Structure formats: C-alpha cells, structure tokens
Structure 1
Amino acid sequence: MPQQTHEHRAWIDEAVRRVEADAQRSADTHLHHFPLPGSPGLTGGVDLYLKDESVHPTGSLKHRLARSLFLYALCNGWLHAGSTVVEASSGSTAVSEAYFARLIGLPFVAVMTATTSPEKIELIEWYGGRCHFVDEPGQVYEAARALAAEVDGHYIDQFTFAERATDWRGNNNIAESIFEQMSHEPHPIPAWIVVSAGTGGTSATIGRYLRYKRLPSRLLVADPEGSAFYQGWLDDSVAPTAPGSRIEGIGRPRVEPSFVGGVVDDMVQVPDAASIATMRWVSERLGRRVGPSTGTNVWAALGVISDMHRRAEPGSVVTLLCDGGERYLSSYYDDTWLAGRGIDLAPYLVALGRFESTGFLTLV
C-alpha cells in the first residue's frame, strides 16, 4: 500500500465533514401512530406505528444506508478525489448515493435493470448520476464490478457492506431511534418490529440491536414473492436463487452476503398483489401515497396483529414506511400496468376490508 499523501487525508477529512454536516441538518424521521380501523375496542389494545423514512432528504429508507456506505468507504480509504462511485441498485439506494456523491464532488454511476421506475431514474440523473442498464437482476453485480474496474472507480457494493457499515450498537441507527420515539407510548417495547429486506442491512442492524440491548421485541422480515431470502432463511443456506422481486427495492434473486438470517426471529413471504393492495389501502388512510415495500411491511404487520388479537395479547407493532408513492405513479398505481402483469388486487382488497370489520386478516 503506497504511503497516503497529506492531500488525500485532507480530502477524506473534508468529505467526511460534509457527510456528517448533512446528517446534522436532517432531523430524525417521524414515528406515526397508524389508527387501526374498526369499531371502538376492536383492536384489543394493539397499536401499529409506521417509522416514516420517506422524509429523509432523498425520500427513502436508503438515505441512511447510503450515508453509512459512503462513510465506510471514505474511512477505509477506498475513495479519493476524482473516484467514480459505482453501485448495483434497483433504484432508491442509487438515488441516495447519487446525492452523497454529488455532496462530496464525485461522479456516480448506477447499474440497474431497465425495468426500474422512470421516476427513480429521473431522480438519479437529477442528482448528477448516470444510469447503466442491464437486462436481468442477477447481472447487476458483475456489471457494476466490471464498470468500476473500467473507469478506475470504486464499486461501493451495498449487497456486501450494508450489514457492517452501520453501527448496530447505537450511534443514532434506526433501531435506537425507534426505541427512543416509542419510550412514551402505551406499549413502549414493541412485541414485533416488521421490516422487509433489500440488502438485509436494516434487519441486521435492528436484530443485532435487540440482542445487544437484551430487548424482548421480535424481528419479522417480510419477503416479497420471487425473492430468495425466505427460502434461504428456512434452509439456513446462502445457496437458494429465485427470479427476483417485482416489488422495487426489496427482495433479491440470491441471498445477499449482507443478509444475516441469524438475527431474524420469523419470516413471511408476501404475494405481490398483497403488497400493492396494502400500499393503496395505507395510502387512502394516510392521505398520501406510499411505495410498494411499505405495503409489504404493513401486510405482514397486520398478520402479526391478527395473531395478537387471537391471543387477546395487547402490545405494539412497529414497521417502516420506506418511501413515498410518487416514484411509482407509472407502475404500481397504474391499473393498466398491473393488468399487463396479471396482478389481481381484488382478493387482497377484500381481505383488508375484512380486517377493518373483524380485526383479523384472512384470505378465503
């Protein structure tokens, strides 16, 4: 390793200062109490909360990850003045990474499938990034690695480093924030925290934090249809592969290195139609559009709440509002788009209506 120059260290110092200053300018994200519908007392003392990650400067949960990944790369000496940052991403991480690359004055290239929503592509380009398209989800890794080598850049590799770039013991991570915000609620220690997995970084952070702090809350990971994580977790194996998810931002065609199954207490696989129906159901009740991964999370959370109702178990459940729905107007909010992919929301909308009247989520 060649000796590091004073100029290189000074550049890293300034880049870290900019990223940290950006974090100080951003308030913590909100925790919303989500009113469960139905007659008075129907919920049986179960409260649902949504941690609203859409209010980050780049509009999604991935803002936290991108900040951590950039700090990790900077402090490891992997970035220098003029580096081209390259990432494999299904969209939201790339939006946030384009933001941070611009913040420290580096060019950015996102490698993604051509099916990524046009709204996300526009945002990446608005932040000064460039998009490089591949045909299949499984091609993004090698394409990103090859592109980084070609331009003498750095492949930031969220799918490997997401689980280690964030300090899971605290230091203002998402788990610490949830428990601080829950501290004055009727049930301050959630029975369950429900998240979905894209890289697995969020579930790793929360699951490790629960164990480190010796908290009794359990972690449920909701995996979308077509993803490899669920089967990999059942088999305790990294070998399973799958077609890949149609729910942008979560689910993967392989079990990613950053997915830590040992910290997950339970998993559930959520059909795409359930994710999208619940996305629309939540949007109607919040008066604002949310993204499809939020639908995945809430569908799984309602299943947990149904089980708590059956046991007459009071408590709280926390899940994530991952991003806003404005990024998906031409896809998940477009009925023609859904019909073209054979996605029928009707059975799941009926089930959600039944939950409203009974407090139980069932498909018949």
Structure 2
Amino acid sequence: MDRTDPACENGRDWVHDAVAKVEADANRSADTHLLVVPLPGEWGIDLYLKDESTHPTGSLKHRLARSLFLYALCNGWVREGRPVVEASSGSTAVSEAYFARMLGLPFVAVMPASTSREKIALIEFYGGGCHLVADPTQVVAESRRLAARTGGHFMDQFTYAAQATDWRGNNNIAESIYGQLARERHPVPSWIVVGAGTGGTSATIGRYVRYRRLRTRLCVVDPENSAFFDGWVNQDPDRTTTHGSRIEGIGRPRVEPSFLPDIVDRMMRVPDAASVAAIRILAERTGRRAGGSTGTNLWGTLRIVSEMRAAGIGGSVVSLLCDGGERYMNTYYDDGWLATQGIDIAPYEQALRDFFVTGMLA
C-alpha cells in the first residue's frame, strides 16, 4: 500500500515561504554590540556585556524564537493557519509573537499573572494574545492543554531550546562573542556568566567552548525561587520549587530539559535584591537600563571579577545584557513595587559602589 499525506503536500510551498521569511529576518539583523563596562585599568581585568536588547524584539530571546520557529517549521510541526502557543515569562513570547505575525499565524502566550504590563503590551502589539495563569508552575501544562484544544502547536521552549540552536557555530551567541573579542587584549575570556531560564543559552555556550577546545569556564547564575541551583548542587534533575521567580526571564520552578548540568563549571545563587541593585548601579554608571536578569548576571560577574582581583589574576569576563529596562519601569525601577515585594536593595547598592572602588565584593 502507498499513501501520501495531502496536508504535507499542500503545505510544502507555505513552509518554504515561511522558512525564507524567517531567514530573511536573520539576514536583515546586524549582530549585537559587546559593551565594555569600565573597570580601573590597574586591575588587569576587562568586563563585557553583550547587549542583546538591540535585537528587533528587544531581547536575547529573539535568537531563540527564530531558532524555535525554524526548528518547528522544518520538523513539520508549524503549519499554515494553525495557532502557535508558548509558555513564557514574557520576552520569548514577545519575540515569538513577532515571528508568528510575520508568518500570518495566530499566537497565544501562556504566562504567569505577575508578568510585567509592559511585556503584555508588547505581545499584544505584535498581534499575540495573552493567557495569564495564577500559578507559575502550571504554565507548561496549561500551554499543552490550550494547544490541544485549539489544534495548534505548543512551541515548548523549555524542551527544545538546547536542540533548536546549532551550538557548533552558524552565528550563535557564543561564536559571536568570541569573534567580537578577537582583537581585545584577552580574546579568550576566563569566564562567561549567564542565567538559566530554558537552559538553552548556557547549553549553547558550554557546548561551543568544548567544541572549540577553549579554556573559558561557564558560570550559571540563578535567582531566588528557582530549581536550577539546587538541582545542580544535588545532581537532582527532578528538583522543583513551589514559587515562581521574581526575576523575569530566568529562574524556573523545575529543572528544565534544555538545562545541561554537566557542562556548567560553577553555579551561583543570587538574591533578588542583589539583582535589582545591580541594574540600578548599571544605569547609574553607564546610563543603560536593563531588566532583572541582567542584574543577576552582573552580580555574579562582579563577584568573579572580585575573586580574580583578590587572586591577582588578569583576564576578561563576559556576560549578557538580556533586555532593556523600559519593560520593567513598573517593577524593578519602582520603589513602591519593591516595598510590596519586601525587597531591600540598599545594602547591595552600597556593596556595589564599594566594589568599584576596592574591587572586592563578598
């Protein structure tokens, strides 16, 4: 017997056109900047933040969304006219809404009810819908139910982030970092510091470092109420928490499938107050406002710089500016919101100001 799937045959031209549109977006997009964070020259340490906020949709997740759409299109999962559903704390959904609109597809983001109003507005600006759930631990399960009910495709960034991106190169974020460092005085960084939301970014960087046989070590920073740190320390891939992260974009109530613990050299838990203090100080010293996940990255990065300075070790350290602070003016940059959350950033702000004088951060 022989049978041809009419849906596959009839939809092939649409898929070809869709892939071409997504690839054209990549071709139009310039690379993101590698910014220098000034440190005293006598320290012998260079600090860089890769500014992912300059992507068309304003965050690191633009790279991931593009890869996820290409992966799903080429796997035959995304088809003409069918909805795309994603579980997200915001930025991935913003970027996926952008690509769904490009392809003429309905898009629904399933998000915690605590997601910032600014992110919800951006998703809606790109034509997406927002399905808010009270319990952050249920966004994945609710996404699956919604996709099944509507006949759509659940994109599932948490499962496929580590699979959809080519970690060997092909203009991934790791290849971009090393290319931009090529003419710096320390072209191979001692450390790269990133947070974990899906785990995809740390998986891409960690694999690339090993593939290229580089001496860089990978540190993953994790906010409060996230399962990644305890799961890594206790070698427990089933570790869960009962609360969602207040640092949007990173931190998860479970260890996600895309998180690869064996390629992580170090993990660091960062208090939420330290994350917020770090973005406030970043704005104070550089004029750039960033989101909370950048603050988590920066606190961990500066602790590593402090340790290198104490040991008399020179080199470079790289982290990510994940998205812009304009998405969080009603949360991390609002003192009233911090008070309602019981977040006191004052001690951490002072510790950071002292760091830029002494080079020491406990």
Indicate whether the TM-score tops 0.5: yes
Which amino acid counterpart does residue 29 of structure 2 have in structure 1?
A: S
2:331 aligned residue: 331
Instruction: Name whichever of 235-244 and 175-184 sits farther off.
Output: 235-244
2:22 aligned residue: 19
Q: Aligned with 1:222: secondary structure?
A: strand
Measure how far apart 1:279 and its partner are.
0.7
2:101 aligned residue: 102
1:296 aligned residue: 296
Q: How far apart are the structure 1 equivalents of 2:244 and 2:262?
A: 22
Which runs of structure 2 are paired with 1:278-357 in the superposition (5 Å)? Answer: 278-357=278-357
1:50 aligned residue: 49
Measure how far apart 1:2 and its partner are.
5.3
1:262 aligned residue: 262
1:73 aligned residue: 72
Q: Aligned with 2:256: secondary structure?
A: coil
Q: How far apart are the structure 1 equivalents of 2:353 and 2:199?
A: 31
1:28 aligned residue: 31
Q: Aligned with 1:361: secondary structure?
A: coil
Which amino acid counterpart does residue 137 of structure 1 have in structure 2?
A: P
Contact 1:196 1:203 in 2 (8 A): yes
Which amino acid counterpart does residue 119 of structure 2 have in structure 1?
A: K
Which amino acid counterpart does residue 179 of structure 1 have in structure 2?
A: Y
1:116-137 CA-to-partner distances (Å, cap 9, x unmatched) read: 0000000000000000011111
For these two proteins, the number of residue pairs brought into alignment is 358
Q: How far apart are the structure 2 equivalents of 1:320 and 1:240?
A: 26
Q: Aligned with 1:202: secondary structure?
A: helix
Q: How far apart are the structure 1 equivalents of 2:187 and 2:35?
A: 14
Q: How far apart are the structure 2 equivalents of 1:128 and 1:340?
A: 32
Alignment TM-score, normalising by the size of structure 1: 0.97
Q: How far apart are the structure 2 equivalents of 1:158 and 1:103?
A: 19
1:303-334 CA-to-partner distances (Å, cap 9, x unmatched) read: 00011001100000000000000000001100
Alignment TM-score, normalising by the size of structure 2: 0.97
Which amino acid counterpart does residue 341 of structure 1 have in structure 2?
A: Q
Measure how far apart 1:240 and its partner are.
1.1
Q: Aligned with 1:195: secondary structure?
A: strand
Q: Aligned with 2:46: secondary structure?
A: strand
Q: How far apart are the structure 1 equivalents of 2:79 and 2:261?
A: 34
Q: Aligned with 2:36: secondary structure?
A: strand
Measure how far apart 1:237 and its partner are.
1.4
Matched, 1:162 2:161: yes
Matched, 1:133 2:132: yes
Q: Aligned with 2:239: secondary structure?
A: coil
Q: How far apart are the structure 2 equivalents of 1:218 and 1:96?
A: 29
Q: Aligned with 1:283: secondary structure?
A: helix
2:188 aligned residue: 189
Across the aligned residues of Structure 1 and Structure 2, the Cα RMSD in angstroms comes to 1.0
1:77-96 CA-to-partner distances (Å, cap 9, x unmatched) read: 00111110000000000000
1:209 aligned residue: 208
2:172 aligned residue: 173
1:95-154 CA-to-partner distances (Å, cap 9, x unmatched) read: 000000001110000001111000000000000000001111111011000000000000
Q: How far apart are the structure 1 equivalents of 2:331 and 2:135?
A: 18
1:273-321 CA-to-partner distances (Å, cap 9, x unmatched) read: 0000001101112212111111100100000001100110000000000
Q: Aligned with 1:207: secondary structure?
A: helix
Q: Aligned with 2:127: secondary structure?
A: coil
Matched, 1:116 2:119: no
Instruction: Name whichever of 238-247 and 114-123 sits farther off.
Output: 238-247
Q: How far apart are the structure 2 equivalents of 1:357 and 1:113?
A: 40
Q: Aligned with 1:28: secondary structure?
A: coil
Contact 1:228 1:244 in 2 (8 A): no
Q: How far apart are the structure 1 equivalents of 2:228 and 2:244?
A: 10
Q: Percent identity?
A: 65
Q: Which runs of 5+ in 1 are unaligned?
A: none
Contact 1:91 1:248 in 2 (8 A): yes
Measure how far apart 1:13 and its partner are.
0.4
Measure how far apart 1:3 and its partner are.
2.2
2:277 aligned residue: 277
Which amino acid counterpart does residue 3 of structure 1 have in structure 2?
A: D
Which amino acid counterpart does residue 322 of structure 2 have in structure 1?
A: C
Q: How far apart are the structure 1 equivalents of 2:324 and 2:353?
A: 23
1:11-64 CA-to-partner distances (Å, cap 9, x unmatched) read: 11000000000000000000011102x5x52xx200000000000000000000
Measure how far apart 1:244 and its partner are.
2.4
Q: Aligned with 1:31: secondary structure?
A: strand
